[in-house]
Amino acid sequence: MLHLLWLIPAAPFAGFVVLALAGRRLSPRGVASVGIGSIAVSAVVSLLIGAAFLSAPPAGYAWTQALWTWIDVGRFRPQIAFYLDPLSLVMTVVVTFVSLLIHVYSAEFMAGDEGYGRFFAYMNLFVASMVVLLLADNLLLLYAGWEGVGLCSYLLIGFWYRDPVNGRAARKAFIVTRVGDTAMAVGLFLLFHELGTLQIQPLMQQAAAQWGAGSPYAVAAALLLLGGAVGKSAQLPLQTWLPDAMAGPTPTSALIHAATMVTAGVYLIARTHVLFALAPVAQHTVAVIGLVTLLMAGFSALTQHDIKRVLAYSTISQIGYMFLALGVGAWAAAIFHFMTHAFFKALLFLAAGIVIEALHDEHDMFRMGGLRRELPVAFWAFVIGGSSLAGLPLVTAGFYSKDLIVWSAWSAPGGSPLLWIGAVIGVLLTAMYTFRLIFLVFFGEAHSHVERRPGLRMTVPVLTLIALSVVGGFVDTPPGLGHVTLFTRFVQHALPAVPRAASGAGGLTETSSMLIAAAAFALGLWLAFELFLRRRRSAEALTATTAGRAIHALWASDWGMDWLYDRLFVRPVVWFARVNRRDVVDLPFLGAALLTRGAWAALSRSQTGRVRWYAAAVMTGTILLVAVVLFL
Partner 1 sequence: MILLWLVLIPLLGGVAAWTAAQRRPLAARWIALAAIALDFGLALLIWIGHAGRVGLASQGGWLVEFDHAWLPAFGIRFHLALDGLSLLMVLLTCFLGVMAVLASWTEIQDRVGFFHFNLLWILSGILAVFLAVDLFLFYFAWELMLVPMYFLIAIWGHEHRVYAAIKFFLFTQLSGLLMLVAILALYVVHHEVTGVYTFEYGALLHTPMPDGTAMLIMLGFFVAFAVKLPMFPLHTWLPDAHTEAPTAGSVILAGLLLKTGAYGLIRFVIPLFPHAAMSFSPIAMTLGAIGILYGAVLAFGQTDLKRLVAYTSVSHLGFVLLGIFSWNGLALQGAVLTMICHGISTGALFIIAGALQERMHTRAIDRMGGLWATVPRLSGAALFFALASLGLPGLGDFVGEFLVLLGTYQVSIALAAVAVVGILGATFYALRLVQRVFHGPNPHGWSLADLAPRELVMMGLMMASLVWLGLYPRPVIETFAPAMTHLEEVVMPVVPPEGRP
Partner 2 sequence: MASVPLTDALLLAGILFVLGMAGLLARRNILLMLVSIEVMLNAAGFAFVAAGARWGQADGQAMFVFILTMAAAEVSVGLAIVLRLYRRYGQLDADLASGMKG
Asked whether position 603 contacts partner 2 by CB under 8 A, the answer is yes
One DSSP character per residue, 396-449 reads -HHHHHHHHHHHHHHHSTT--HHHHHHHHHHHHHHHHHHHHHHHHHHSS---S-
Residue 604 sits in the site that holds partner 2 (CB under 8 A)? yes
- Cα gap 411→479, rounded to integer Å: 14
The residue range among 170-178, 307-315, 519-527, 598-606 that interacts with partner 2, by the rule CB under 8 A, is: 598-606
Helix, strand, coil % in the chain, rounded to nearest 5: 75, 5, 20
Distance, CA of 244 to CA of 300 (rounded, Å): 13
Give me the half-sphere count of Cα atoms (radius 13 Å) on the Cβ side of residue 492.
15
What distance in Å separates the CA atoms of residue 322 and residue 326, rounded to the nearest whole number? 6
Judge contact between 61 and 85, C-beta under 8 A.
Answer: yes
d(CA 354, CA 201): 43
On whether the CB atoms of residues 366 and 376 are closer than 8 A, the answer is no
Which amino acid does the sequence have at 421? I
Task: Fill in the DSSP letter of residue 361.
Answer: S
Alpha helices in 76-115, H assignment, sequence order: 86-109
Query: Residue 448: exposed, middle, or buried by beta-carbon count in 10 A (0-12, 13-18, 19+)?
Result: middle
Q: Which one among 612, 628, 631, 632 touches partner 2, defined by CB under 8 A? A: 612
Q: Which does 143 bind (CB under 5 to 8 A by kind): partner 2, partner 1, none?
A: partner 1
Nearer to partner 1, 161 or 614 (CB): 161
615, 625, 626, 627: residue in contact with partner 2 (rule CB under 8 A) = 615
**Which residues between 307 and 346 bind partner 2 (CB under 8 A)?**
none
Given candidates 112, 579, 605, 630, which one binds partner 2 under the rule CB under 8 A? 605
Smallest gap from residue 603 Cβ to partner 2 (A)? 7
If one asks whether residue 606 binds partner 2 (CB under 8 A), the answer comes out as: yes
d(CA 78, CA 245): 33
Please identify which residue in 1, 71, 595, 625 interacts with partner 1, judged by CB under 8 A: 71
Q: How many C-alpha atoms does 407 have within 13 Å on its Cβ side?
A: 28
Residue 566 vs 586, nearer CB to partner 1: 586
Nearer to partner 2, 69 or 608 (CB): 608
Q: Is 571 in the site for partner 1 (CB under 8 A)?
A: no
Q: Which of 198, 215, 235, 269 is nearest to 496 (CA)?
A: 269
Identify residues 116-155 at the interface with partner 1 (CB under 8 A).
140, 143-145, 147-148, 151, 154
Local structure of residue 57 (DSSP, 8 states): P
Does residue number 607 form part of the binding site for partner 2 (CB under 8 A)?
A: yes
Residue 161 Cβ vs partner 1, minimum distance, rounded to whole Å: 4
Residue 348: contacted member of partner 2, partner 1, none (CB under 5 to 8 Å, by partner type): none
Residue 610 in contact with partner 2, rule: CB under 8 A:
yes
Shortest Cβ distance from residue 566 to partner 1 (Å)?
15
Q: Of the two residues 590 and 619, which places its CB atom closer to partner 2 in the complex?
A: 619
Among 609, 629, 631, 632, binds partner 2 (CB under 8 A): 609
Instruction: Please say which residue, 76 or 366, places its beta carbon nearer to partner 1.
Output: 76
Interface map 4-23 toward partner 1 (x if CB under 8 A): ----------------x---
Residue 193 touching partner 2 (CB under 8 A)? no
609 binds, among partner 1, partner 2, none (CB under 5 to 8 A by kind): partner 2
* CA gap 390, 14 in Å, rounded: 39
Distance CA 207, CA 190 (A): 12
Q: Give the C-alpha separation, 393 to 508, whole Å.
A: 19
To 5 degrees, how large is the angle CA 365–CA 369–CA 372? 120
Among 7, 44, 186, 208, binds partner 1 (CB under 8 A): 186
Phi and psi at residue 159, to the nearest 5°: -60, -45
- Residue 200 engages partner 1 in binding (rule: CB under 8 A): no
Query: Among partner 2, partner 1, none, what binds residue 60 when CB lies within 5 to 8 Å by partner kind?
Result: none
The entry of partner 2, partner 1, none near residue 50 (CB within 5 to 8 angstroms by kind) is none
Asked if residue 578 binds partner 1 (CB under 8 A), the reply is: yes
The span of 4-12, 331-339, 536-544, 597-605 binding partner 2 (CB under 8 A) equals 597-605
DSSP state of 258: I
Pick the closer one to partner 1 by CB: 12 or 158. Answer: 158
Instruction: Please report whether residue 546 would count as binding partner 2 according to CB under 8 A.
Output: no
**Gap between the Cα atoms of 366 and 370, Å rounded:** 11
Q: Which residues bind partner 1 (CB under 8 A)?
A: 20, 24, 68-74, 76, 80, 140, 143-145, 147-148, 151, 154, 158, 161-164, 167, 170-171, 174-175, 178-179, 182, 185-186, 188-190, 192-193, 573-574, 576-578, 580-581, 583, 585-586, 589
Q: Which residues bind partner 2 (CB under 8 A)?
A: 603-612, 615-616, 619
